[in-house]
């Protein structure tokens, strides 16, 4: 089954143990909300959180928001129960499962296979539930190329700077920034590898959580930098981060209008038998057409006009 293409500018984290927060998340403007059974839940609450998550997925009005959970890692005792219990109870109200701490393609294969068994048992369409994986272990980054192609359920790869910095033994502050004045982005290598692997496999790349929710300007800058690299969205760990992400990862009306002019100029040149032309003193060729197509696709996905 071809995977649906979903908007993912903002992916809002909500602890699955805290049902008082669910209604606000469901009513938010986040493109995707995930109820977190992993690190936002205390271990003692992880079993009970499954039922809370499934009930909320089924019963709340989520509008067009994509409904997801983050399960526990496949090397924990909670993983199989997370999949079986939440999918069995939530059924098609669950659209995406986020798999944390993926190290190898076989981690994804394990979840994919288990999901297929559950789908068949309870009569859900095969492969209806999509996956996102977190690259947040150094081993996962080493294997990101094969992970990106490991399952036809896979829709996105998320860079997780928090665990990744721990896995690498990096010395960072609580916002996962280096504790020294490091020249450039210390996570550029990881971010670049993730986006290249994702794009090569035809899926989305999503940028890391940003703990400092009191600094919207720094969050917005981080969104803009990720968007410049080809990331289509970023995690939001607080509702105040949703709007900046939604704005940063959407093309502006000017970009949409300009991309239309580029296409028109190129088509006109093409009709005249030329492969390139000029627009506002700039060369326009087939590469510009590809950029314009990306802007047009994103604008259409988000329902935006130029
Ligand atoms: C996300 O889970 C992270 O560790 O950054
Ligand atoms: Mg993590």
Q: Which atom of ligand 1 is nearest to the CA of 209?
A: 5
Taking the centre of ligand 1 as the mean of its atom positions, its distance from the CA of residue 39, in whole angstroms, is 9
> Is the residue at 5 inside a domain?
no
d(CA 221, CA 247): 12
In the three-class reduction of DSSP (H, G, I as helix; E, B as strand; rest coil), residue 264 is classed as helix
> Is the residue at 32 inside a domain?
yes
CB atoms within 10 A of CB 136: 25
Q: Domain holding 55: CATH number?
A: 3.20.20.60
d(CA 51, CA 195): 34
Q: Indicate whether 181 and 259 sit together in one domain.
A: no
Residue-by-residue pLDDT tens, the chain, 306 positions: 678 999 999 999 999 999 999 999 999 999 999 999 999 999 999 999 999 999 999 999 999 999 999 999 999 999 999 999 999 999 999 999 999 999 999 999 999 999 999 999 999 999 999 999 999 999 999 999 999 999 999 999 999 999 999 999 999 999 999 999 999 999 999 999 999 999 999 999 999 999 999 999 999 999 999 999 999 999 999 999 999 999 999 999 999 999 999 999 999 999 999 999 999 999 999 999 999 999 999 999 999 986
Q: Which mutation among 36, 209, 236 tests ligand 1's pocket best, with the greatest number of atoms within 8 A of CB?
A: 209
Domain boundary (233, 248, 263) is at 248
Q: Indicate whether 221 and 283 sit together in one domain.
A: no
CB-CB contact of 31 with 10 (8 Å) = yes
* Overall pTM surpassing 0.95 (yes/no): yes
**Chain centroid to CA 278: how far?**
36
Q: What is the CB < 6 Å shell around ligand 1?
A: 100, 134, 136, 160-163, 208-209
């Amino acid at each position: 089954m071809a995977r649906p293409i979903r908007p993912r500018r903002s992916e809002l984290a909500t602890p699955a143990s805290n049902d008082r927060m669910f209604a606000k998340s469901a009513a938010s403007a986040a493109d995707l909300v995930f109820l977190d059974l992993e690190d936002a839940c205390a271990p003692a609450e992880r079993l009970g959180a499954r039922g809370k998550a499934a009930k909320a997925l089924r019963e709340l009005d989520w509008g067009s928001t994509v409904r997801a959970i983050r399960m526990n890692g496949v090397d924990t005792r909670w993983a199989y129960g997370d999949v079986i219990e939440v999918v069995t109870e939530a059924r098609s109200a669950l659209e995406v499962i986020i798999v944390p701490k993926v190290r190898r393609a076989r981690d994804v294969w394990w979840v994919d296979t288990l999901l297929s068994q559950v789908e068949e048992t309870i009569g859900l369409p095969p492969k209806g539930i999509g996956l996102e994986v977190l690259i947040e272990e150094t081993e996962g980054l080493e294997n990101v190329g094969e992970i990106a192609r490991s399952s036809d359920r896979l829709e996105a790869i998320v860079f997780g700077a928090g665990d990744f910095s721990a896995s690498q033994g990096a010395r960072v502050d609580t916002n996962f920034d280096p504790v020294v004045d490091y020249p450039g982005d210390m996570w550029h290598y990881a971010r670049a590898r993730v986006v290249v692997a994702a794009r090569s496999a035809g899926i989305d790349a999503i940028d890391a959580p940003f703990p400092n929710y009191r600094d919207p300007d720094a969050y917005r800058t981080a969104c803009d930098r990720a968007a410049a690299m080809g990331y289509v969205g970023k995690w939001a760990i607080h509702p105040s981060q949703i709007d900046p992400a939604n704005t940063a990862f959407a093309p502006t009306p000017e970009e949409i209008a300009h991309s239309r002019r580029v296409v028109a100029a190129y088509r006109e040149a093409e009709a005249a038998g030329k492969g390139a032309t000029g627009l506002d003193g700039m060369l326009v060729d087939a590469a510009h057409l590809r950029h314009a197509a990306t802007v047009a696709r994103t604008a259409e996905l988000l329902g935006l006009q130029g």
